[in-house]
């Protein structure tokens, strides 16, 4: 069996009375690319920081790269590359100067050679003397990736690395990620983009601090057991308004179409049948998309969170 790069159970983190990560377990095989998905505030960043040794868990146990996440955080840091959400390098230093600074932090031997080799690999060689602050979003992303991979980490933890980056830069970034995975590097990348999630070997979805789904994209879609219909035509917004607020039914507009989904096919059919008489709208049943599933998961998790809050207040 492929050894596990990440093997944690019951990871929990609290800030005061608030539980930000609640009993999260992950088993990530070495050399795979995993997508870590969830809405803002779902606990993705906190989980990543616990895995790389920047935060001490309040509960749970396990290993990262075979090292104990509770007692060997310093050793984990030396073997992990962590790319933060925000660009965190010196904008008044050049590309080369920033990378040389990082190489000094890791006490790399043959520092200059390592810097040059890394710049060449990620396409920064021709911009070596450009100030980091003058780089576009895509080139800043490359610099950040170069900095977190220069010490040859066995695991990359990338926190929303492509936010605000143009499609071409995103595509080139993912080519770099899969090239690293082919060399045996394990990658856990958080993202909001569904097309990026579909580039991953497996995905893990978290909301309200709880892990809701794990597996290959096809497995997650099948596991949701979701029924989805598409309404196409100029009356789709009126239909969305009529369905708003109906329990267990989710709607999402995609261009000229409205996706209507539910985990209860009979309830869904009962809700939409009275609306099918509108001649402006064409209806058809379809296979749910990953985005349909995530909208459904968020709605269910939000409803559960609200019920828990009511129970605590009672």
Instruction: Tell me the CATH number at 21.
Output: 3.40.50.300
185, 266: one domain: no
Q: Are residues 156 and 239 in the same domain?
A: no
Q: How many domains does the chain have?
A: 2
The whole-number pLDDT of residue 167 equals: 86
Across 148-152, 160-164, 200-204, 254-258, the highest mean pLDDT is recorded for 200-204
Determine the structural domain holding residue 294 and report its residue range.
222-313
Tokens of 106: 């890791």
Instruction: Let me know whether 64 and 126 are in one domain.
Output: yes
Residue 157 and residue 282 in one domain: no
Where among 191, 215, 239 does a domain terminate? 215
Tens of pLDDT, residues 281-293: 999 999 999 999 9
Q: What pLDDT does 235 receive?
A: 87
Same domain for 156 and 117: yes
Residues 239, 137 share a domain? no
147/98 Cα distance (integer angstroms): 8
DSSP 8-state assignment for residue 153: -
Beta strands, E only, the chain: 4-15, 18-29, 33-37, 59-64, 67-68, 80-83, 155-159, 186-191, 202-207, 210-215, 227-232, 249-254, 257-262, 282-286
- Whether residues 226 and 211 fall in one domain: no
What gap in Å lies between CA 44 and CA 170, rounded to an integer?
20
The Cα–Cα gap between 286 and 278 comes to 19
* Direct distance between the N- and C-terminal alpha carbons of the chain, in angstroms, rounded to an integer: 49
Q: pLDDT > 70: what percent of the chain? A: 97
> What digits encode the pLDDT tens for the residues 177-189?
999 999 999 999 9
Q: What is the pLDDT of residue 314?
A: 66
Of 181, 215, 249, the position where a domain reaches its end is: 215
Helices 137-149 and 111-121: crossing angle, nearest 10°? 140
Task: Please indicate, yes or no, whether residues 23 and 164 belong to a single structural domain of this protein.
Answer: yes
CA distance 66 to 62: 9
pLDDT digits (tens, 9 = 90+) for 30-61: 999 999 998 888 999 999 999 999 999 999 99
Instruction: Give yes or no: residues 199 and 237 share one domain.
Output: no
At residue 27, the 3 state secondary structure works out as strand
Is the Cβ–Cβ distance between 28 and 79 less than 8 Å? Answer: no
Residue 71 tokens, joined = 């007692």
Q: Are residues 19 and 78 in the same domain?
A: yes
Please determine, for residue 309, whether its predicted confidence score (pLDDT) is greater than 80. Answer: no
Residue 211 sits in the same domain as residue 226: no
40 and 173: one domain? yes
- Where does a domain end: 187, 215, 243? 215
Eight-class DSSP state of 90: -
* Pairing label, strands 59-64, 67-68: antiparallel
Q: Is the dihedral of CA 221, 227, 232, 238 positive or negative?
A: negative
């Amino acid at each position: 069996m492929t050894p596990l790069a990440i093997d944690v159970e019951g990871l929990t983190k609290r800030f005061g009375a608030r539980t930000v990560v609640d009993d999260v377990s992950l088993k990530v095989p070495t050399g795979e690319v995993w997508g870590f998905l969830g809405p803002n505030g779902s606990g993705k960043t906190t989980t990543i920081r616990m895995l790389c040794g920047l935060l001490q868990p309040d509960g749970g146990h396990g290993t990262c790269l075979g090292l104990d996440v509770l007692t060997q955080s310093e050793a984990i840091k030396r073997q992990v590359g962590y790319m933060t959400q925000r660009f965190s390098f010196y904008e008044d230093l050049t590309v080369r100067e920033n990378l040389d600074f990082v190489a000094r932090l890791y006490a790399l031997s043959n520092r200059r050679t390592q810097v040059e080799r890394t710049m060449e690999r990620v396409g920064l060689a021709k911009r070596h003397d450009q100030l980091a602050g003058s780089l576009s979003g895509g080139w800043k992303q490359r610099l950040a990736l170069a900095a977190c991979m220069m010490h040859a980490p066995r695991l990359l933890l990338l926190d929303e690395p492509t936010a605000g980056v143009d499609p071409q830069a995103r595509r080139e970034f993912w080519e770099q990620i899969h090239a690293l995975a082919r060399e045996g590097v394990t990658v856990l990348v958080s993202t909001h983009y569904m097309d990026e999630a579909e580039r991953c070997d497996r995905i893990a979805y978290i909301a309200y601090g709880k892990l809701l789904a794990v597996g290959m994209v096809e497995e997650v879609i099948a596991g949701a057991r979701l029924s989805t219909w598409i309404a196409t035509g100029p009356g789709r917004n009126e239909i969305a308004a009529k369905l708003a607020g109906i329990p267990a039914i989710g709607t999402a507009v995609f261009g000229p179409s409205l996706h209507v989904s539910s985990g209860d096919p009979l309830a869904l059919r009962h809700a939409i049948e009275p609306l099918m008489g509108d001649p402006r709208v064409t209806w058809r049943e379809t296979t749910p998309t990953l985005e349909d599933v995530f909208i459904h998961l968020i709605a269910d998790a939000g409803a559960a969170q609200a019920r828990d809050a009511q129970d605590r207040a009672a």
